[in-house]
Structure 1
Amino acid sequence: MRLSKTEHRTRPWRVHEIAADFQTEDVWAVRTPGGGPDDLPRMVSSLISADFPAGAPLPVRVVWNVRWKLGALLGWDREKDGIGRRVPSLMTRMPDDLVAAPRGPEFEGVPFTSLYQLHDEWAAEMANRTVHTIMHVGWVPDGSGGYRGQLTVLVKGNGRFGAAYLAAIMPFRRLLVFPVLLRLIERGWRQSAPAAG
């Protein structure tokens, strides 16, 4: 379920310290039934190991593959436009305690790099010719005594081209990609539940 952007902006996340010039693009609630106060690592693991896009329905796989094929054809995803090339890593903005914190897991086959992982939040970044993006996962009380994930996408478009790109992909991202990704994360969460003892 998509949430108001204030759900991210009003919480005291450490990511605010390094991303003041990024826009909050989307905030999503991730259902994690039975989640406790110390379960952020399990939530992040469910995200990292989500079978996306391979486990997504055909329309989502088609949209995803078209985006990456266009990116290859038009040079959107070249190494020279990534982190440390077109834009410096946000690690250069991090205060010493975040630099010293665990970075968290890395994706396989997806161009995101973990920045840090704390008790209640994890952040990773990615950049290409169109945008510099942060994927932020917060761990918040769910209002019924448990905890749930809160997935936020923060963006900094690369000029007018980046702004046009973000506007063009918004319907696909909101109607297809993220709802399916959330279902896959939630399925991974359920499958990783500790066995009842």
Structure 2
Amino acid sequence: MRVPVSTHTERNWLIHEIAPDFEVEDVWEIPARLTPETFPRAVRDMADGDPNRSPSAISRFLFAVRWRLGELLGWDDDGHGTDGRVASLAERVPAELRGTPPEAGPASPFTPLYLTDDEYAAELANATVHGVLHLSIAPDDRGHVTRIAVLVRTNGWFGRFYMALIKPFRYLFVYPPLMRELGARWSRDSTT
């Protein structure tokens, strides 16, 4: 379920130091009670993520459309990502955390940045945005709450327009089935 941005910003996450120039676009709570022991498995699962394998047919379709548009319009071409248009946030990660996250799977659009006991961050950049996916667990009155935050720095007016255009699709067709799927899978994995 979508939760207020303040649930992310009020915590003292390392990502705030690494990406202070990014806006928190979305924060979602995943219905999985991960622990510090099960968090690394969820991170590996997230790093291997392939949007084309979403349980939602609509989500798979939307990603296919996005990849096709990116191909046709050159949004994902060399020079539009961290290889040219923007510098990777990896340069801002403290030296002791570099190389800590698992490698991304071949179909993941994200490049892992760092992993701690309670947070994981990965980035992507293209002609529209430079974005960060932040997975975290935080103590609460029932153990730990699991959340995903999406932070972005848009690329000019077109990036802002693009993010506004896709917002209803993200809220209706992408995030809800993704959160349910991750919640079910990670809850199942944490009991085995």
Q: TM-score, normalised by structure 2?
A: 0.91
The match for 1:141 among 139, 142, 153 is 139
**Cα distance in 2 for residues equivalent to 1:53 and 1:62:** 8
Corresponding position of 2:70:
71
Corresponding position of 2:154:
157
The match for 2:130 among 129, 132, 136 is 132
Corresponding position of 2:171:
174
Map 1:1-197 → 2, pairs under 5 A: 1-33=1-33, 35-49=34-48, 52-99=51-98, 102-144=100-142, 146-195=143-192
**Cα distance in 1 for residues equivalent to 2:13 and 2:23:** 15
> 2:119–2:134: 8 Å Cα contact kept in structure 1?
yes
The structural deviation recorded for 1:91 is 1.2
The structural deviation recorded for 1:3 is 0.7
**Cα distance in 2 for residues equivalent to 1:92 and 1:51:** 26
- Which range moved further: 75-84 or 115-124? 75-84
> 2:31–2:146: 8 Å Cα contact kept in structure 1?
yes
- Provide Cα deviations, 1:133-164, integer angstroms capped at 9, x if missing partner: 000011112421x2231100000000111111
- Equivalent pairs counted in the alignment come to 192
Sequence identity of aligned pairs in percent?
A: 40
Point out where structure 2 has 5 or more consecutive residues left out of the alignment.
none
- Which range moved further: 8-17 or 39-48? 39-48
> 1:22–1:155: 8 Å Cα contact kept in structure 2?
yes
**Cα distance in 2 for residues equivalent to 1:75 and 1:49:** 25
- Which range moved further: 177-186 or 51-60? 51-60
Secondary structure of the corresponding residue to residue 79 of structure 1: coil
**Cα distance in 1 for residues equivalent to 2:184 and 2:49:** 8
- Name the amino acid aligned to 1:97: E
Secondary structure of the corresponding residue to residue 122 of structure 2: strand
Secondary structure of the corresponding residue to residue 52 of structure 2: coil
**Cα distance in 1 for residues equivalent to 2:159 and 2:56:** 27
Point out where structure 1 has 5 or more consecutive residues left out of the alignment.
none
Q: TM-score, normalised by structure 1?
A: 0.89
The structural deviation recorded for 1:49 is 4.6
**Cα distance in 2 for residues equivalent to 1:181 and 1:162:** 23
